[in-house]
Chains A and B, each alone.
Chain A
Amino acid sequence: EAQVTQNPRYLITVTGKKLTVTCSQNMNHEYMSWYRQDPGLGLRQIYYSMNVEVTDKGDVPEGYKVSRKEKRNFPLILESPSPNQTSLYFCASSFQGANEKLFFGSGTQLSVL
């Protein structure tokens, strides 16, 4: 089944403890992206990647890192999480880029205490 898989679904952590949210797609998509969703603000893009080893900042990249070493994986790294990064995170992918239909993961609800 074609899908975008995010893990974990829920995560509670403490300030400053490094964490990684994984994202994997099995559709051979070139484009992958991370969003955060906060009440009243909609989805805001954190980082995106047009292909392997090609990443770029979105609207809210501060405090996040990403890597794209393989086409299928696009992990989101929080080196030193802070409470303002408490949010619902989504990974998404498409075949070639922003002009195309995005496939979304089920989301990761992160709470930073």
Chain B
Amino acid sequence: SQQGEEDPQALSIQEGENATMNCSYKTSINNLQWYRQNSGRGLVHLILIRSNEREKHSGRLRVTLDTSKKSSSLLITASRAADTASYFCATDARDMRFGAGTRLTVKP
């Protein structure tokens, strides 16, 4: 079963706008990770947030984690066309489980 579930399934924005994606999960976790996938290519790790952390930043990325709601969000600020990709959350549980992803399109 998939542990992480991303929302929305697809998101289209203009360059310069912020993009927010959400992830919900079902069981207790040690950490949650976000990955990016450019069309048909391998996933690339973006950021890892541990269960005792509430927020983490990396460049234009901001991730929050709410373990009481079993949810996380990924915010990409000042988006660029190059951010067009699918974004996945993954939780550890017994082993790494991925959701179906959010397809982000950033229009120039």
Interface residues in chain A, defined as those with a beta carbon under 8 Å from any beta carbon in chain B? 4, 33, 35, 40-45, 48, 56, 58-59, 88, 90, 92, 97-107, 109
Query: Which residues of B, 1-59, contact A by the 8 Å Cβ criterion?
Result: 1-2, 30-31, 33, 35, 40-45, 48
Interface residues in chain B, defined as those with a beta carbon under 8 Å from any beta carbon in chain A? 1-2, 30-31, 33, 35, 40-45, 48, 88, 90, 92-101
Contact B41 A106 (CB under 8 A): yes
Contact A43 B92 (CB under 8 A): no
Knowing A40-B100, A59-B1, A102-B45 touch, does A107 contact B40 (C-beta < 8 A)? yes
Q: Of A42, A88, A106, which one neighbours B101 at CB under 8 angstroms?
A: A42
Most buried by B among A98, A101, A103: A98
Question: By DSSP majority rule, is chain B's interface helix, strand, loop, or mixed?
Answer: loop
Closest 9 CB pairs of A and B: A104-B42, A42-B100, A43-B98, A98-B92, A98-B95, A101-B45, A98-B96, A104-B43, A106-B42
Cα of A92 to Cα of B43 in the assembled complex, Å: 9
Knowing A33-B95, A45-B95, A58-B95 touch, does A99 contact B101 (C-beta < 8 A)? no
Contact B97 A45 (CB under 8 A): yes
Most buried by A among B31, B88, B98: B98
